[in-house]
Amino acid sequence: ELYEAENYSKVLKKYQIASLRTAQSLSFLGFGQNVIFSVSMATMMSLVVSGIIKGNCTIGDLVMVNGLLMQLAIPLNFLGTVYREVKQALVDMETLFNLQLVKSNIQ
């Protein structure tokens, strides 16, 4: 049993390290996406404000652009989350099926 406990501890430690790396990469990805969205949102808002100052746009245009960008960004973010969850579920299923093929050393 000592051998199994040590082996389990090693495998669990590797899993924890991989899980931490995955969480870090997802955090960096989310941060990058938020930076891109925020910069583009600020750029679009400044362009519309510039148009309002010149008299080419109205306040309604500002509200419309803001609403349009938000309505595009939120579903895309949700779609990315669903894609990631489905992909992880497929990987987990593949691992499970491969695990079923492994012959046990203990009979």
Average pLDDT of every residue of the chain: 88
Q: What span, in angstroms and rounded, lies between the C-alpha atoms of 82 and 92?
A: 15
pTM score, whole prediction:
0.63
How far is Cα of residue 76 from the mean position of the Cα atoms in its chain?
11
Three-point CA angle 55, 57, 58, nearest 5°: 100
- Structure confidence by residue, pLDDT tens digits, 59-102: 999 999 999 888 888 887 788 788 888 998 999 999 999 988 88
Which pLDDT band, with edges at 50, 70 and 90, does 107 fall under?
low
Q: Residue 22 has what pLDDT?
A: 85
